[in-house]
Amino acid sequence: MAKKFKVAAQMYGFRDFMKTPDQMKPTLKKVKKMGYDFAQISGVGAVDTAELRKMCEGEGVTPIGTHVSLPLFRENEKNVIAYCHALGVKYVAIPWLPASDYKTLADWKKLFKEFDGYAKRFAKEGLVVQYHNHDFEFEKFGIKNGAGGATILEMLYAGTEFLQAELDFGWIARGGADPANWAAKMKGRLDQVHLKDWGIVGGKPEFRAIGEGSLDWARIIAAAKKSGTTDFIVEQDTCPVTNDPFLSYAISRKNLNNRFGI
């Protein structure tokens, strides 16, 4: 019987060890040994997609999603669809965008419509399009006399129907919002989430392994489960404490299993 919840490693954290096919197999082997049975593919070097899928499955690390940049969606949707099918994944997230390109509310609303168009068309191919947030989406528009307004992220999901969220709880916290509340808001549109933790050094935030920072993971994970999340994806962009992504991801996996029950 398959486990109800999946815990995946975001391979972007291992990007320095996934540059060539010769590096990929031993890296995947280590990821599996840590306890990750699943992976989200991002930040890998040049490799045939079918070969990468074969390597992943050969090491017992099944791809469950991927990140594809917005320019590639715009350049050729069919290529993105073919890539997802070749990789064997259902979920594809737009991971980032240059916020400075969108200066007005009209700019953002046009982008939201574009995103929902991708999501609607990709659904016909059996694929789910998501958006992965950072912290800039918590900027508000519509403030009057110092009050009111709505954040970009609020408007994004209010203005789309087919787009799913891939909430990054670490960035939500960095944006000053409550990750558990956001999980509740996105009930039914939150199959996958990103787990990321923060510590403070010299008054500035630094990445931490899950459970080694300041986020209330018991509350956040419970809220995500209640909202229908099945896939919990660990991502640590950099590892300033350990200087070793393998160690940091291993700590995250151990804490998620021993302290938070996934």
CA 203 to CA 220: how far, in whole Å? 24
Going by C-alpha positions, the residue among 114, 213, 105, 211 that lies closest to residue 154 is: 105
Separation of alpha carbons 217 and 211, rounded Å: 7
Contacts 24+ apart (CB under 8 A), 44-48: 44/11, 44/15, 44/18, 44/19, 45/18, 45/19, 45/20, 46/20, 47/20, 47/21
Mean pLDDT within 13-38: 98
| Mean pLDDT, residues 50-63 | 98
- Per the DSSP assignment, residues forming a β-bridge with 62 are 38
Mean pLDDT for all residues in the chain: 97
User: Could you please report the per-residue DSSP string of 30-68?
Assistant: HHHHHT--EEEE-S--S--HHHHHHHHHHTT-EEEEEE-
Rounded mean pLDDT, 237-243: 97
Query: What is residue 34's predicted lDDT score, i.e. its pLDDT?
Result: 97
What pTM was estimated for this model as a whole? Answer: 0.97
CA dihedral 48, 50, 51, 52 (to 10 degrees): 90
Tell me the pLDDT band of 2, cut-offs 50, 70 and 90: low
Domain at 6-258: CATH code: 3.20.20.150
